[in-house]
Amino acid sequence: MSNSGDDRSEHELRVSKIHNGTVIDHINGGQALNVLAILGIDGSQGEEISVGMNVPSDRLARKDIVKVEGRELSQDEVDVLSLIAPDATINIVREYDVVEKHRVERPEVVVGVLSCPNDGCISTGDEPVDSRFEVVDDGVRCSYCGTIVREGIASLIEH
């Protein structure tokens, strides 16, 4: 059955457009919850969040998509996001229109964003040292102790 000229099934679930905020598209399938963790979004601040997981994609076989009403991402957030969602596209929405659209770019270094999992690292002690990680092909490497992290990067986000 057609709906106002739309030939999609009337049983299909649709996610509404956001008024103002950010749409993170082309996230690798299954990574949306890690994206939310990286951004510190858990719904406790009353954020309106829409998440689509493992939906069909032309560019990726399957993708996730996250829409966050009322929030635009900082460059630091985008840099860290790029570590687990290197193919993501960031869309900034204002008054229901996309006003900015860009692909994430992996930085060479992230500073003060991740905590080193090595308890013996100078960045985890009492010294006033910001964490510093070099971005490598398949993860990040602590600039101080050399610890390499390939999985679980989202759990190292400093909040």
* CA–CA dist 13, 16 (Å, integer): 10
What phi, psi does 155 have (nearest 5°)?
Answer: -75, -10
Q: Which residues, in sequence order, are bridge partners of residue 111?
A: 132
The per-residue DSSP string of 147-159 comes to -EE-S-GGGGB--
Q: Is 142 annotated as a binding residue?
A: yes
Q: Is 58 annotated as a binding residue?
A: no
* CA–CA dist 58, 39 (Å, integer): 26
Question: Alpha carbon 27 to chain centroid distance?
Answer: 8
Q: Which residues, in sequence order, are bridge partners of residue 140?
A: 135, 149
Q: Is 25 annotated as a binding residue?
A: no
Max intra-chain CA distance, the chain:
66
| Sheet hosting strand 97-103, strand order edge to edge | 49-56, 62-69, 21-28, 89-94, 97-103
Residue stretches of the annotated binding site for Zn(2+): 116, 121, 142, 145
Residue stretches of the annotated binding site: 116, 121, 142, 145
